[in-house]
Structure formats: structure tokens, C-alpha cells
Amino acid sequence: MALNRKIAFIDLTTGRIQVEPIPVELRRKYLGGRGLDAYLLYKQTSKGCDPLGPDNVALISAGLLVGTLASASARTHVMAKSPLTNLLGSANMGGFFAPEMRWAGFDHLVIKGKAPNPVYLYIHDGEIEIRNAGEIWGAGVYDTQDIIRKQLGDEETQILCIGPAGENLVRFSNVMTGRKNAAGRTGMGAVLGSKNLKAIACRGTLDLEIKHPKEALEYNAKIIDQVISTKVSQIMQRWGTNFIFGVTNTTGLVRTRNFQYNQLPDSEDIECENLDNYSIGMDGCFGCQVHCRHRYLIKEGPYAGTYAQGPEYTSQGAFGTEVGCRSMDTILVGNHLVNDYGMDTLEVGSMIGWAMELYEKGILTDKDTRGIKLQWGNDEAVLEMVRQMAFRKGLGDILAEGPLRAAEKIGPESLKYLIHVKGMSNLHSDERPTPSLALNIAVASRGADHLRGRPAIDLYNLPMKVLDKVYRNPDGYDGPLTNSYSEYEGKARMVLWQELNYMAVDCLGVCKYHTVFLSPNHPTFGEFVKMIYLNTGLEFEPMDLWNIANRCYTIERLYNLREGMTRKDDWLPERYFDEPTKLGLPVAKGKFIDRKKFKAMIDEYYRLHEWDRNGIPTKKLLRRLDISPAFLKP
């Protein structure tokens, strides 16, 4: 059944593999996926371990509902100590890998040590083999998967892998599967690279028994109707996440030229409608009916004829607004390169945009760039810097270290221009007009982040009765809420609610686009507990799921605190407070974050979380969530 999948402990140094069942008590406390990974990371690593050392563990997991009859149940989670931030490392991706891993018999892999030579894991129907990866070391993400499938003689094998960036220990390298599914953010690819682990290949034919199959099918049909009937899903079926750009750029909510402006004029070429000139159809992940990604062909230049998938909204920013480029070709080539090299598109765009502002200010010179003109809108320079970072050449070798380490090498005068939180760069959004989104990136558990607690529906000016229905459940919150995104009141509750909502989704392995993220009408706690029961037989109330998510999120907080994070890390770059926005509609122009009000927001956020004034979970909370003192011992 869906609860009988195993956990494998793999030591690449010794080659020892130990397989164990997952006790149902752990399922009831952490479910699976990101939540159980957080528990394992805390227990399996020691305080202060080297993120790129053999004692760090790489956790690969499937959520509790992955591969079942629950819609969009395809997500793979990857967790380790981050080589980018030295704090929690965590990333999540779609595709087909996690369902295949479950069909092969496993829900969680706990990988430690370092192989003496490059290897990959082959997992098939309850068996795990460590195989030589000498032939594929150095290969890109696309070729790696093609070569392994050819070696195994099975085109249905699903493969998770790193590209050259992970091998070269780029601190924001990704773990990838398929042609664009990226466990991006926090450098999980570098962790695998440090272990000489190139890939994990899965092929499974084991049954995944559904507890109540007829009812689960019927209920899933209702969930599908609920999701695809919403306007946002219908738009994403046509344009993917690229549709967001037209709204945010017009309003003035995108950061441009690093952080100098909040709008990119004359950007028609990178609007979603132009993808019609490249797209050859839409694609999706296992069990999903939305199909939100383009399949596209690059038509001109040295990459003419290249087939790729995407781009996401984030690549429009990485290779568009942040670097001042206005070419869809540049965005599509850049998207293809970061996916094949295995790098985080958000971090890549931010690092190049930062370097361009430093070049403009004279902090970086032609000597530092070896003659590359890092000028705004220089498409060729942008793509060259992508290559240099992936292969650690020239200035790219410095930028590959990530924001804080790169700033140490370039000099203290460069720090002012970094747009990061906890050592991880923000995406291309500008949150100065939106206090709720600003709070989210300041307090998110893995650094500047739009996928850990972003109350995106705050931008919609929804009726209060809609906000009440979402944000006052399931725990009966009776505090303030406001439906103007420029207000500060009530936004701490929105961020906390989204944090626990997204945690629940990540524990289950369901896509965030199938919960309250871009639409208030998508499923959440009430629907999820019914999905769990029909597919697994585990019975929960919505409030039980809320508490499980809270427990898992609290453990992530405890992990960060153990590794040295303090309240001062829950803060924004000073430019958010000191530099008002220059462009956009009246609702966005001339905006900045008010320091005093923002500090009060953080105080309220801590209080709602039941953390003390320093952001430390209280003993009362730990008792209520059944997190024992013994668990917290180093």
C-alpha cells in the first residue's frame, strides 16, 4: 500500500546500504517529503558540519501522496545543509522521478559519505546498486539522462542528476530531472557533486495500493474540476507562468537592472504572447491536467534547433529584467543553458545583475571581467557569464560562490548592491510596494524565497469574505486581515498561513499550483485530509494537518537556529528601506518598506508562530507540537 515504502541509508564511502521501513508513527508526525526530510536532516547531521563534506547528508524523497490517485502528485524533494547559506538547504521539483522512485519501493534516500570515484545509483524494485559514472561525469543534464537510459536499455527509466555546475561545486547548482524540472535554490547539486554522485536512476513496477480506489478516483475528478475551472489554471494552460510578467511589469513590481528600477519599459518581445513564435505545445508533470510548461525550439543563432522546455516566469527575470535584456531569444537560450548545466536560474540572474551594477559603478572593471562588457542589455555578455559560472572560469569563478562569498572576494563596497536574504538572492520581484511579500522573503526558512510563504493572492484585492474563508481556517484565527497589498496590518497572518499551507503540500508531494497560491479557490487543508484518507487510509482532521505542518516548519526553524541563524537574519537589504521605487503605476511608484512598521510585522509574525522576541520557538509550543528535549540534543 501507499504506506509500505522504505527508507534507504546509503553510505557512498563504504558502499553500505541499509533499508528500513518507515514507522507509521513518523508518518503521523511528519507525513513524508519535506517534513520527514526536515526531521532526518536534524537527526542525521551534526551542528556545524561542512555542507560540502562527507558528513552532510543528501535527502531525496517523495511525498506521501506521490504516485497515487491524487492530482499533481509528482513532486520530488531534496534536502541537505546548504553550501550557499550554511543553513537549511531545500528544493522541490516536478516531473516523473518521485512516482518512479515510489514504484521502485522507496520514499526516502539518506545519502552520506563520498564515493572514491564518480558513481550513480540504480534503484529498481526494492534493489539499490552503486554503479560507475565515469562515462557520464562531465556530461550535461540532457546527455546524462540519455546515456544512462541507453546503458540500461530502458527508455522508461526516470533519472535525477547534476550537470557540470554541480560537479564544479557551484554553490547554487541544481539537481535536475527531465529537461527542465529543477530542484533549484540552496545548491543541492553541489552537495551531490561533493559526494561524487552524478545521478540516481529509478525504474519500478511494484504496486502502489490505494486504500479506497473507487472513492479516490471519484474525489480526484472533483479536485481536477475544481483546479482547472479557475481562471489562473486556464491561463497557465495557455501561457505557463510567463503570464505573470505582463501584470507585474506593468504595475511596477519587478526589479530591473539589479535593484535600480522596478519596471522594464519597451519589453514587448519578452511578453508571454511572443512564445507563440517558439512553442510547439505544452507539457506537464505526472498526474497533472494543467500542463503549464512550453516545449520550444530555439530558431536562430548558435543554438538553432535546440529543443527545451519552459521558460518559467523566473527566467524572464533572470535573463530579462534583472540584466536589462529585452530579447526572448536570450531568455530561451539562457533557460536552456542553466537547465543543461544544472544551475539555479534565479541565482544566476541575480549574480549577473549584481555584477553589472558593480561594473556600472566602477567596482568591477574590464580587468576583473577580462574584457567582457558587463553593460545592461548586453545579451552576449549575459550568456557568457552563465558559461563562466558553470565552469568556474574568470569572474564566473567568483560569482559561482554565491552572494556573500563573492562579496568577500570583490570587496566590502559591493555588499550594498546585493539583493539577498540569508545569503540567497531574491527572484526578480520588487517587494517595496508589497509589505506581505517583503515579510515572506525576509523570514523564509531557506533565504529570500517566493515558494515558502508567499501570499500571492494578497495582490488581487479580494473581497474580505474570500480572505476570511482562506486565512481564518482551520484554526479559527480572529485577528486582523486587510485586502490592500500596500497595508501592513494582518499580513503576518497571511505569511504564516501560507508557510504551513506550502509545508503541507510539500509533505504530500503535490504541486503548489494545486493549492492556494495563485488562486483562492484551489484545494487546501480540508481537501488534503480527504485525499490522504482515500489514498492511504490515514485519518486526519484539517487541524491535525495544520499541526503537522507547524511541527515540520518549527523543526526547520530549529535547524537554522542550531546552525547559527539569529533574528538579524530575518531582515531585508537596506535598499528596501532607503530607495523608493522610481517607476510603475501609482500604487507601486515611490514605495519603500517602512522600517518601524516592518519590525512590528516581524514581532507579530513571531508572536503568531509562538516564538519569542528572538525568533526562538517557545517551550510551550514545543510541548504542544510534541517536539521533545531529547530531539533537540546535538
Q: What's the confidence (pLDDT) of residue 436?
A: 98
Spatial separation of the C-alpha atoms in residues 260 and 353, rounded to whole Å: 10
Spatial separation of the C-alpha atoms in residues 187 and 171, rounded to whole Å: 5
Spatial separation of the C-alpha atoms in residues 29 and 475, rounded to whole Å: 18
pTM over 0.75: yes
How many CB atoms sit inside 10 A of residue 8's CB?
20
In a domain, 436, yes or no: no
| pLDDT over threshold 90, residue 390 | yes
Spatial separation of the C-alpha atoms in residues 44 and 40, rounded to whole Å: 6
For 489, the domain range is: 448-575+595-624
Q: Residue 95 is which amino acid?
A: G
In a domain, 563, yes or no: yes
In a domain, 15, yes or no: yes
For residue 42, give the H/E element and its range.
Answer: helix 33-44
Q: What's the confidence (pLDDT) of residue 300?
A: 87
155 and 19 within one domain: yes
| Pairing outcome for strands 175-177 and 158-161 | antiparallel
How many residues would you count in the chain?
A: 634
CATH of the domain at 195: 3.60.9.10
320 and 254 within one domain: yes
Torsion of CA 103, 190, 142, 293, to 10 degrees: 70
For residue 526, give the H/E element and its range.
Answer: helix 525-536
Decide if 462 contacts 485 (C-beta within 8 A): no
611 and 513 within one domain: yes
In a domain, 213, yes or no: no
C-alpha cell at 52: 560540502
Spatial separation of the C-alpha atoms in residues 340 and 336, rounded to whole Å: 6
197 and 90 within one domain: yes
Which strands sit side by side in the sheet containing 307-309, from one edge to the other?
279-283, 293-297, 307-309
Contacts of 550 (CB under 8 A, 6+ apart): 500, 503, 625
Of 377, 410, 425, the residue at which a domain comes to its end is 425
Decide if 98 contacts 179 (C-beta within 8 A): no
Decide if 544 contacts 71 (C-beta within 8 A): no
303 and 171 within one domain: no
| pLDDT over threshold 80, residue 19 | yes
> For the segment 546-592, what is each residue's pLDDT rounded down to a tens digit?
999 999 999 999 999 999 999 999 999 999 999 999 999 999 999 99
Decide if 106 contacts 8 (C-beta within 8 A): yes
Q: What's the confidence (pLDDT) of residue 631?
A: 80
Spatial separation of the C-alpha atoms in residues 299 and 301, rounded to whole Å: 7
292 and 180 within one domain: no
Decide if 140 contacts 160 (C-beta within 8 A): no
Q: What's the confidence (pLDDT) of residue 156?
A: 96
Spatial separation of the C-alpha atoms in residues 234 and 72, rounded to whole Å: 16
Burial of 591 (0-12, 13-18, 19+ CB in 10 A): buried
| pLDDT over threshold 70, residue 489 | yes
In a domain, 439, yes or no: no
C-alpha cell at 17: 546500504
282 and 397 within one domain: yes
Spatial separation of the C-alpha atoms in residues 633 and 592, rounded to whole Å: 42
Q: What's the confidence (pLDDT) of residue 387?
A: 98
In a domain, 385, yes or no: yes
Decide if 396 contacts 387 (C-beta within 8 A): yes
Per the rule left: phi > 0, alpha: psi between -120 and 50, beta: everything else, 455 is beta
Q: What's the confidence (pLDDT) of residue 633?
A: 73
The phi, psi pair for 396, rounded to 5°, reads: -60, -30
Q: What's the confidence (pLDDT) of residue 316?
A: 97
DSSP string, 124-155: ETTEEEEEE-TTTTT--HHHHHHHHHHHHT-T
Of 538, 534, 494, the C-alpha closest to 516 is: 494
DSSP string, 197-248: EEEEEEE-------SSHHHHHHHHHHHHHHHHTSHHHHHHHHHGGGHHHHHH
67 and 145 within one domain: yes
Chain position carrying cell 497571511: 494
Chain position carrying cell 515504502: 5
Of 425, 456, 476, the residue at which a domain comes to its end is 425
DSSP string, 358-403: HHHHTSS-HHHHTT----TT-HHHHHHHHHHHHHT-THHHHHTT-H
Decide if 118 contacts 455 (C-beta within 8 A): no
Q: Tell me the longest C-alpha to C-alpha distance in the chain.
A: 67
518 and 410 within one domain: no
460 and 555 within one domain: yes
| Pairing outcome for strands 197-203 and 119-124 | parallel
Q: What's the confidence (pLDDT) of residue 1?
A: 58
Output the average pLDDT for the chain.
97
Spatial separation of the C-alpha atoms in residues 186 and 172, rounded to whole Å: 6
C-alpha cell at 153: 536499455
Spatial separation of the C-alpha atoms in residues 183 and 37, rounded to whole Å: 14
Of 339, 294, 335, the C-alpha closest to 314 is: 335
In a domain, 633, yes or no: no
CATH of the domain at 319: 1.10.569.10
Q: pLDDT-derived band of residue 159, with 50, 70 and 90 as boundaries?
A: very high
The phi, psi pair for 17, rounded to 5°, reads: -125, 125
| pLDDT over threshold 80, residue 413 | yes
Of 154, 186, 203, the residue at which a domain comes to its end is 203
Rounded mean pLDDT of 167-176?
Answer: 98
262 and 346 within one domain: yes
247 and 393 within one domain: yes
CA distances from 623 to 29, 603, 610 (A): 14, 22, 12
Query: What's the domain count of the chain?
Result: 3
> For the segment 530-553, what is each residue's pLDDT rounded down to a tens digit?
999 999 999 999 999 999 999 999
In a domain, 209, yes or no: no
Q: What's the confidence (pLDDT) of residue 634?
A: 65
CATH of the domain at 460: 1.10.599.10
| Per-residue H/E/C for 542-585 | HHHHHHHHHHHHHHHHHHHHHCCCCHHHCCCCCHHHHCCCCCCC
Q: What share of the chain is helix, strand, coil (3-state, %, to 5)?
A: 45, 15, 40
For residue 309, give the H/E element and its range.
Answer: strand 307-309
Spatial separation of the C-alpha atoms in residues 585 and 505, rounded to whole Å: 34
Of 325, 207, 196, the C-alpha closest to 264 is: 325
Spatial separation of the C-alpha atoms in residues 94 and 241, rounded to whole Å: 15
Q: What's the confidence (pLDDT) of residue 229?
A: 96
